Amino acid sequence: MGMNSLAVLGNCVSQLGLGGFPSKSFGCLSGSSGSTLAFHGSVKKSFEPKKEQQQIVSQEDDHNVSKRLHKDLSFFPRSITDSVLSNNPKDDPNIRIAFKGLPGCYSEDAALKMYPKCQSVPCDRFEDTFKAVELWLADKAVLPIENSAGGSIYWNYDLLLCHRLHIVGEVQLAANLCLLALPGIREEQLRRVLSHHQALASSDAFLSKLGTIQEDVDDTAGAAQYVALEGLRDAGAIASARAAAMYGLNILAERIQDDAENITRFLVLAREPIIPKLDKAYKTSIVFTLHEGPGILFKALAVFALREINLIKIESRPQIKQPVRVVDDSNMGKAKYFDYLFYIDFEASMAEPRAQSALEQLQQELTTFLRVLGCYAMDTTL
């Protein structure tokens, strides 16, 4: 699969007009095999039959030669075609999607929204979803990145930088938080409610009126499973309606969240990047660090404004390995500041010349590090 993807990128770079970047512009775009998959490069490696294969072919008649070449070439990378691009993997029943949590969690809901026929690969931790894809135990991973009530999930931003997976899509999911309990149990019988801390916080007003003890667990579906398996008659769980059906619980109340529109944005991650096009609205996600100097962040943002590129999101995170930058200050001597990584989402496809020139200027003039995390179609549905 890795070899096929390399061939696809190499054949399509010239069509996308991405050949003008310096070789180091997007040096962090690499695949699981370690080969560079940058949009700006081209694949020059050729594939030739081994000497043993050539000797065997030369000894056979024309009919057998044709059959053998057909067999051997079937393993070679294929150039991308319109039919390949038009295939819709969302309908593939064999695609495996990794997510954190048990079956019935909201992350699985997001996976099913994107890939309705997918096979679920539940994981214990967010980092395990990355590893599942890297080890070919899953084809893609679905990762929550921000919530309209709770804000950004910073740990997952850090994981994006620590791993080499690429963002190939996004899913916006409007959550329906439900209060679940064993069959026959009424709200007034509940003494405690179990759920993920974010679900508990998002339902604070409802739970305050209910007057129950709140218990934080690792996963919404895990809370539902625990109540069901342990037969807890004094405990309820906040989880999805699908989790209720899955674990045999009754729904006592629906849409108990404080904000009616509680929306979580998920990223879809894969081993290889997709080929950006111009047929729909695309979003590009990048991360970079900046040189030291007054107004440097303003200059970086101006790179996009001057090209009329809409910035959708900007997030800053201190660098983990080198969180402090020491600089010279003419008045006070040495000064120490936090050294930040800036994550930016902007509304443009990497197939557009304006996006290419913006990142080229950003890389050459303003940044000490720049990585394209992915270019992908925007999700405009709820």
What residues act catalytically?
Answer: 264, 266
Give dist(CA 10, CA 273) in Å, integer.
Answer: 12
Instruction: Name the DSSP letter for residue 142.
Output: E
Give dist(CA 97, CA 76) in Å, integer.
Answer: 27
Q: Which two tokens stand for residue 215?
A: 């218990």
Q: Are 348 and 277 in contact (CB under 8 A)?
A: no
With 0-12 / 13-18 / 19 or more C-beta atoms within 10 angstroms meaning exposed / middle / buried, residue 105 is: buried
The closest alpha carbon to 291, from 359, 350, 342, 345, belongs to 342
- Maximum Cα–Cα distance for the chain, whole Å? 85
Q: What is the DSSP string of 234-263?
A: SEEEEE-HHHHHHHT-EEEES---SSS--E
Taking the CB of residue 136, how many other CB atoms lie within 10 A of it? 12
The closest alpha carbon to 166, from 128, 134, 192, 118, belongs to 134
Helix (H, G, I), strand (E, B) or coil at 221: helix
Instruction: Name the DSSP letter for residue 36.
Output: B
Please report where in the chains the tokens 């893609």 appear, as a residue: 140
N residues, the chain: 382
The C-alpha angle 35, 37, 40, rounded to 5 degrees, equals: 130
The closest alpha carbon to 132, from 271, 234, 37, belongs to 271
Instruction: Name the DSSP letter for residue 366.
Output: I
